[in-house]
Amino acid sequence: MTLDYSERMGSIKASEIRELLKLTQKPEIISFAGGLPAPELFPVEIVKEMSAEVLDEMGTQALQYGPTEGFDPLREKIAKRMKKFGVDTEAKNILITSGSQQGLDFTGKIFLDKDDVVLCESPSYLGALNAFKAYQPKFIEVPTDNDGMNMDELEKILESTDNIKVIYVIPDFQNPSGRTWSVERRKRIIELANKHNLPIVEDNPYGELRFEGEMPPSIKSFDTEGRVIFLGTFSKTFCPGFRLGWTCAEYEVLNKYILIKQGADLQASTLSQMILDRFLTKYDLDEHIEKIKAVYVKRRDLMLKTMEEEFPKEVSFTRPEGGLFTWVTLPEHINARDLATKAIEKKVAFVPGGSFFPNGGNENTFRLNYSNMDEERIVIGVTRLAESIKEMI
Amino acid sequence: MTLDYSERMGSIKASEIRELLKLTQKPEIISFAGGLPAPELFPVEIVKEMSAEVLDEMGTQALQYGPTEGFDPLREKIAKRMKKFGVDTEAKNILITSGSQQGLDFTGKIFLDKDDVVLCESPSYLGALNAFKAYQPKFIEVPTDNDGMNMDELEKILESTDNIKVIYVIPDFQNPSGRTWSVERRKRIIELANKHNLPIVEDNPYGELRFEGEMPPSIKSFDTEGRVIFLGTFSKTFCPGFRLGWTCAEYEVLNKYILIKQGADLQASTLSQMILDRFLTKYDLDEHIEKIKAVYVKRRDLMLKTMEEEFPKEVSFTRPEGGLFTWVTLPEHINARDLATKAIEKKVAFVPGGSFFPNGGNENTFRLNYSNMDEERIVIGVTRLAESIKEMI
């Protein structure tokens, strides 16, 4: 028996990362593949305490249906936290989602008809590309450099292309490249979006994990017309197993996301929202983030140092000021998928870069995560990886 | 500023129920509107205990990302529970979703292109219609009676209609009608679906809440070709705030749901899944369901008795053997939306029936929920409702 599926299913494949993650669950594998936070930093005891308090004090409410928009006290706290990103907003502009991933899926649903165009950075986040693909768009990749998306190239594309519906960007410690946009480009993209009346989806899962320098204002902070949709998450600053993220947008736009959330899954978990809300009331999330950063900065430093020492000099890589990833470029004749096969024999895993380019190519790139492995395993893993690369050069 | 939304957004409106629920959160309102379980029956203390144990014993795992398919021990237990529905299956055929609502959204994504046809019962669950609408199908309503969908009518439609892609049914204590399909029709729909090679989506949120008589085998239990997709949920038997449901299907079909889950929100909450799994290990869910049924049966009896005594004899209603709802039919000249306006003045809320018919009409019907109000409020509310009806007759 073969059923008749929708046309969109022809273009939807398993995420290479999710499939890899299954392989890498074996403890002997040194995995730089996922975007997993360091679990030893999760506030397990505090979550336990908050969970008990919520259930003691408001147990029946915590287990009942709640509003689609989310638990109001949590929405208020998130609205206030948006100040960190330079955004002055209110609870009514916040929708609680099942991770920021859900905000990506909703973005596709809300803006994309078949054959519409999504502009994205080249490379871009694989999970976003997969979410959008369900709505059958075309992707145009805008070239990037160390300061983010190239604005002159963006302008050219905007002026020469019909049916562009969304500009999707990750301006802080981009996934997969680890790069951060300059302030000037953040201002410039707003001007261009205003001129062409386009929404910008600003995905910011990592911005709060800055190890050095000042956090630049978000693109949304320069938005005077309400066209930036900001996606945030607690997956990297609190814990991913809660599946809590948010969408922040002008009410007129956010209301579309709320309507879609109703049909998609009614609401986020009431209990999870209340536990997180209580954590934010009784503890200082920023203090917790400092603890995370203190660990990650050492891991990044050690990974970069080992790469510098061990990788052949034909191999280049980015030097992220925060976040979870560095991005490696091999000599053009080396295919990172072949390298991945070699590396997995040495029990080291990473994600080949090709899948971060929606239109293919760039098979000589790959992404390394440094947040999830301890320092010893980082040194061993990068050294083994260097051996595999040398064998291929 | 007005952004350019996708075509589908033109047909997506706020769910009347969700909007009503916001109004009915005021404690002075006697609400028969939602499909809310009785919160006083939630196992709050046990959830607290299970949460503490999970966090003590496997805290870091509980707060980390997990597989898209769901937590394996929970999938295994659900597979075993499927025996209650007459279905012999395995963990690999179970996907954990964010409520069964998410399974409905995924169904639309997987099977529906624009202008494809969904066959549904007339009336059908509003939340499913809203979920499907995002994929721009046409709905054909199949007439129903006290034994479920009319199979001769279904056969005629199947033979005369192109582009039918999904048959969506709620055979047990249907939402909104409260009716249950006969066994004969369950067998017959499989024959018809086999003949026309169509998937059947069997939505069963209430089947385990049977107050009297034997639970009939599910439609899926008669499925020899793997074309029935069964949607289950813990919202009505455990608690809805956890947002945990499941999709059970042949692996080839389920794999499409898993792919879509990856892009939609990666996975369900790891912690919630582990708490529920531990509850299912240490406690007897069926025993808990008995407690729920003991309360609901009294509420149903009292609601039906009061309706019999107070409603004018021109008004008819269904006599559900379980579940949460009864369905009322007024004389044709009375519009239930007008009645709702009158009733809300008397602080009584319900959902007018019109929105359960995707193609409109039937404005002389409405749905009453009996699970969420205590016995005193049921008598007062139904009596007030009867007064409003009498004023309109």
B365 and A CB contact within 8 Å = no
- Residue A17's pLDDT band, with cuts at 50, 70 and 90, is low
Find the closest chain B residue to A21 by CA distance: B67
Cross-chain Cβ contact B242/A18 below 8 Å: no
- Residue B21's pLDDT band, with cuts at 50, 70 and 90, is low
254-293 in chain A: CB under 8 A from chain B: 256, 259-260, 262-272
Structure confidence by residue, pLDDT tens digits, A24-46: 778 899 999 989 999 999 999 99
The C-alpha atoms of residue A115 and residue B313 are separated, in whole angstroms, by 57
Give the model's pLDDT for residue B338.
95
Amino acid in the structure at residue B77: K
Structure confidence by residue, pLDDT tens digits, B245-273: 999 999 999 999 999 999 999 999 999 99
More confident residue, B139 or A1: B139
The CA distance from B178 to the nearest CA of chain A, in Å, is: 21
The CA distance from B143 to the nearest CA of chain A, in Å, is: 25
Q: Which residues of B touch A101 (CB under 8 A)?
A: 263-266
pLDDT value at B25 more than 80: no
- Residue A185's pLDDT band, with cuts at 50, 70 and 90, is very high
B68 and A CB contact within 8 Å = yes
Q: How many residues does chain B have?
A: 393
- Among A164, A262, A267, A276, the strongest candidate for a mutation testing the B interface, having the largest count of B CBs within 10 A, is A262
The C-alpha atoms of residue A104 and residue B264 are separated, in whole angstroms, by 8
Cross-chain Cβ contact A256/B9 below 8 Å: yes
Find the closest chain A residue to B40 by CA distance: A60
Asked if B257 and B223 count as a contact pair (C-beta separation under 8 A), the reply is: no
Mean per-residue pLDDT, A307-313: 98
Give the model's pLDDT for residue A18.
65
The CA distance from B162 to the nearest CA of chain A, in Å, is: 13
- Residue B9's pLDDT band, with cuts at 50, 70 and 90, is very high
Give the model's pLDDT for residue A21.
67
Cross-chain Cβ contact B6/A165 below 8 Å: yes
What average pLDDT does chain A have?
96
A22 and B CB contact within 8 Å = yes
What average pLDDT does chain B have?
96
What is the count of residue pairs from A and B with beta carbons less than 8 Å apart? 259
Q: Which residues of A touch B15 (CB under 8 A)?
A: 262-263
- Residue B16's pLDDT band, with cuts at 50, 70 and 90, is low
189-218 in chain B: CB under 8 A from chain A: 197-199
Asked if A235 and A37 count as a contact pair (C-beta separation under 8 A), the reply is: yes
Give the model's pLDDT for residue B1.
79
pLDDT value at A148 more than 90: yes
pLDDT value at B23 more than 80: no
Q: Which of B36, B102, B271 sits opposite A65 (nearest CB)?
A: B36
Cross-chain Cβ contact B265/A97 below 8 Å: yes
DSSP per-residue string spanning A98-165: SHHHHHHHHHHHHH--TT-EEEEEES--HHHHHHHHTT--EEEEEEEETTEE-HHHHHHHHHH-S-EE
Closest by CA position to A260, among listed A144, A52, A104: A104
Cross-chain Cβ contact A12/B259 below 8 Å: yes
The CA distance from B314 to the nearest CA of chain A, in Å, is: 35
Cα B342 to chain centroid distance, Å, stands at: 28
Q: Which of B1, B199, B240 sits opposite A227 (nearest CB)?
A: B1
The C-alpha atoms of residue B102 and residue B231 are separated, in whole angstroms, by 9
Q: Which residues of B touch A371 (CB under 8 A)?
A: none
Other Cβ atoms closer than 10 A to B361: 11
Cα-based distances in Å from A44 to A74, A108, B152:
20, 35, 58
Other Cβ atoms closer than 10 A to B351: 27
Cα-based distances in Å from A355 to A14, A127, A143, A331, B350:
11, 10, 16, 18, 50
Cα-based distances in Å from A324 to A247, A300, B4:
22, 8, 34
Structure confidence by residue, pLDDT tens digits, A225-282: 999 999 999 999 999 999 999 999 999 999 999 999 999 999 999 999 999 999 999 9
B51 and A CB contact within 8 Å = yes
Cross-chain Cβ contact B262/A48 below 8 Å: no
Find the closest chain A residue to B14 by CA distance: A259
DSSP state of B235: T
pLDDT value at A16 more than 80: no
300-319 in chain A: CB under 8 A from chain B: none
Q: Which residues of B touch A9 (CB under 8 A)?
A: 110, 256, 259
Cross-chain Cβ contact B3/A111 below 8 Å: yes
B123 three-class SS: coil
The C-alpha atoms of residue B173 and residue A50 are separated, in whole angstroms, by 38
Other Cβ atoms closer than 10 A to A84: 14
Cα-based distances in Å from A84 to A65, A208, A220, B260:
31, 9, 12, 33
pLDDT value at B48 more than 80: yes
Domains by residue range for chain A, with CATH: 7-43+287-392 (3.90.1150.10), 45-282 (3.40.640.10)
pLDDT value at B17 more than 70: no
Q: Which of A109, A264, A271 sits opposite B242 (nearest CB)?
A: A271
Other Cβ atoms closer than 10 A to B155: 17
B224 and A CB contact within 8 Å = no
Structure confidence by residue, pLDDT tens digits, B101-114: 999 999 999 999 99
Q: For residue A263, what are the contacts with CB-CB under 8 A and spacing of at least 6?
A: B12, B15, B101, B104, B105, B127, B130, B131, B133, B134
Cross-chain Cβ contact B270/A116 below 8 Å: no
Give the model's pLDDT for residue A11.
87
Residue tagged 């009596």 (tokens): B383
Asked if A277 and A74 count as a contact pair (C-beta separation under 8 A), the reply is: yes
Cross-chain Cβ contact A63/B241 below 8 Å: yes
Structure ipTM: 0.96
Asked if A196 and A276 count as a contact pair (C-beta separation under 8 A), the reply is: no
A252 three-class SS: helix
A163 and B CB contact within 8 Å = no
- Among B11, B271, B274, B373, the strongest candidate for a mutation testing the A interface, having the largest count of A CBs within 10 A, is B271
Cross-chain Cβ contact A226/B1 below 8 Å: yes
- Residue A326's pLDDT band, with cuts at 50, 70 and 90, is very high
DSSP state of B214: P
Cross-chain Cβ contact A42/B56 below 8 Å: no
The CA distance from A333 to the nearest CA of chain B, in Å, is: 32
Mean per-residue pLDDT, A362-376: 97
The number of helix segments (H) and strand segments (E) in chain A equals: 12, 14
Structure confidence by residue, pLDDT tens digits, B327-356: 999 999 999 999 999 999 999 999 999 999
Q: Which residues of B touch A253 (CB under 8 A)?
A: 3
Mean per-residue pLDDT, A345-355: 95
Cross-chain Cβ contact A1/B52 below 8 Å: no
132-151 in chain A: CB under 8 A from chain B: 133-135
Give the model's pLDDT for residue A1.
79
Give the model's pLDDT for residue A23.
72
Q: Which of A34, A48, A227 sits opposite B55 (nearest CB)?
A: A48
B100 and A CB contact within 8 Å = no
Cross-chain Cβ contact B63/A56 below 8 Å: no
B369 three-class SS: strand
Q: Which residues of A touch B111 (CB under 8 A)?
A: 3-6
Q: For residue B161, what are the contacts with CB-CB under 8 A and spacing of at least 6?
A: B117, B140
